[in-house]
Amino acid sequence: MYFCSHLKHKAIYVDVRNSTSVEFLIKCIELEYSNMTISIVVNSAGILHEITPVVNLADETFNDVISTNLKGTFLVTKEAVKHMLARNVTGAAIVNIASILGKGGFPGLSAYTASKGGVVAFTKAVAVELATRGIRVNAILPGLTNTPMIRKYGNDTIRERLAKMIPLQRIAEPLEISETIVFMCSVKASYMTGSTVDVAGGSML
């Protein structure tokens, strides 16, 4: 982002399903940026599963999706908030990437829908808990977006059919999602907490 281009960036591998890995991530950040504090967290790790009737959905698939999408959001939030509270960080923002499917169902995506619905509920609970500490927690609910994850599970024909189900008649581009996240993390959204923001082209209104 242009507003932090002067900072040194670092990519760190983390398995958000594993508490030890997440703890290591926060320790690495604290060591690498010892003169700074964590003030923005975007929980973006997520996986999708193939459209599968619930009677055929494997336990392993369900567990993997919940562990990554919901438990991962919990673990990263937990460790980041520990850091913030220990350093009396105020004005911080956490944005959880849920999904428009967190508002309702879609045939064959029961595990994914459950995980994102859980993220929405988790966001609201933690927002209330942390409001008095000056930490805002919100969720963004993107619709179908042109990402590698979506391309992995469908060809152009399938995506075109899905696009026709969206009131704006197209899928989102990643920048349309990220610009909203930037706003939610900024001081311009300083009175927003516990909110869910739909960026889904009019889906599920």
CA 14/CA 16 separation, integer angstroms: 6
Which tokens is 106 given?
């879609």
Structure tokens at 103: 């508002």
Residue recorded with tokens 């849920």: 98
Which region holds residue 10: left if phi is over 0, alpha if psi is between -120 and 50, else beta?
Answer: beta
Q: Spell out the residues 6+ positions from residue 146 whose beta carbon is closer than 8 angstroms to its own.
A: 171, 172, 173, 174
* Length of the chain as a residue count: 205
H runs (alpha helix) in the chain: 19-32, 59-66, 72-86, 110-130, 148-152, 156-163, 174-185
Q: Is 112 marked active-site?
A: yes
Q: Which of 2, 13, 112, 191 is catalytic?
A: 112
- The SS3 of residue 94 is strand
Q: Which residues carry out catalysis?
A: 112
